[in-house]
Amino acid sequence: MNRLEYSYFELPSTFYSKVSPLKFKGPSTLLFNKTLSKKLHISEDFIAALIDTTSEASDEIISPFAQAYAGHQFGHFTMLGDGRAIVLGEVVVDKQRFDLQLKGCGPTPYSRRGDGRATLKAMTREYIMSEAMEALHIPTSRSLGVFSTGERIFRTGSEPGAVLARVMKSHIRVGTFEYARYFLTNEALQALLNYTIDRLYPSCKQASNPALEFIKTVAETQFELVTHWMRVGFIHGVMNTDNTAISGESFDYGPCAFMNQYDPNTVFSSIDTQGRYSFGNQGAIIQWNLVRLTEALLPLIDPSEEQALIIARSFIQGFEEEWNLKYQEMMAQKIGFSKADIETEHLVTGLLKLMEQHGTDYTNTFAGLCHEIPNSLSPWEKEAFIEWKAQWNTYAKSQGASLEERIALMRRINPVIIPRNHLVESILSEVELWENDTSYSGRFHEAMSLWTDPYAYDESRIAWMKPPTSEENQAHQTFCGT
């Protein structure tokens, strides 16, 4: 067993509260990630013992804690904190530090009258999504295991409870810096910046203005992350500042989903009634979140508030251009060009317009450009798309880009298989049966074998590539599970 460390305790104690996870009568392991367990040297028994009333495991060997933070939730600022998550400690592997966290293990001082529990469906959804995102080559938290608690908890109705064990490079968020800025002191804010730089971005220490360099570095990681989301049609669902990890990892897979029919206004979250976190708005929102981070760090950018504002305003004006460059480069790669220019931007805009007009599937349209998939799944036999393809080939010829080169690049960028929402929901509808009959988990394991190998194509995968019917798609909503 890898020994847990606690570098987070270098921060003032106002950044956390020590609290132990609840123990349950007769918890059981439903899912366990043996590959990740081996990498981290963390055993299934170690995690299970921490939540089992019959275990003799002593809490004295660890110092679990919940983190304090604030955040802008749907644009409104509030005090927050880990309401149903507890960091067990930090695991160090090959000089890389990871938080080991339990989610759904009971209330904390930040639960705001919540029960601190989680549903089996919600925790299994996070397991599916995080491991699928890892396979899609997108920075993400990882799921170590899902443990049934044997309890019934109440959300929309009575549901089985569960605890998720997950790992991340860090759970520090934009909201953590907002908390330090608006609820603590400048000294606490400086301590948080120093700790985060040391842990995640040590090169920032060499800069003449470490706070400014830190924001630049975080912006790069966030733009990289969100362009990945756009690449695969992923919609996070709740891009609040408390859900924006400084490490640039996707996490908190609550109301998330993958887009089927292309529409930039697509929203699945039941609570996003205004479309703030729609698919096409994710680039603008990450810029908004980075402005909040910049505001929080103003006292450390320059002692003079006036001068700090001048520097910050000049700096954040570049966010939009930086995002657009990153996004256009990624979209150029989706159509087979390694670099973006005005012509690739024109081609991408034209293709997305066609896709929206014809209601084509986002994943399958791009997959059909680099694989010979059935015409029933992709639109490339339609006249408008044939005309676009002719323009695409003409431009490629002018650049000396062969079809083989473009296909090779697109097959690395464009997934064939994604965890389609209707399939995920179908599998989750059976999850309650797993506790008594493990044969019901067979379809889950079949699905995971495909979702964790998303770029390969053969005819056996066609059934998993089919988008939902219009009824299935329209009916789909996702929830936080709290």
Separation CA 372–CA 93 (nearest Å): 42
Give per-residue pLDDT as tens, 179-216. 999 999 999 999 999 999 999 999 999 999 999 999 99
Whether the pTM exceeds 0.85: the reply is: yes
E strands, 94-245, are 96-103, 142-154, 158-168, 234-235
What is the rounded distance in angstroms from the CA atom of residue 143 to the CA atom of residue 31?
9
- Per the DSSP assignment, residues forming a β-bridge with 76 are 73
Query: What pLDDT, on a 0 to 100 scale, did the predictor assign at position 390?
Result: 98
Q: pLDDT averaged over the chain?
A: 94
Q: Which of 205-219, 341-355, 438-452 has the lowest mean pLDDT?
A: 438-452
Average pLDDT over residues 280-306: 97
What is the SS3 assignment for 390? helix
Catalytic residue among 242, 252, 272, 361: 242
Our answer to whether residue 453 is catalytic in this structure is no
Question: Measuring CA to CA, how many Å separate 404 from each of 61, 67, 253, 369?
Answer: 57, 50, 37, 12
**Burial of 175 (C-beta count, 10 Å sphere; 0-12/13-18/19+):** buried
Residue ranges of alpha helices (H) inside 297-430 are 298-301, 305-316, 319-334, 342-358, 362-370, 383-399, 403-413, 421-428
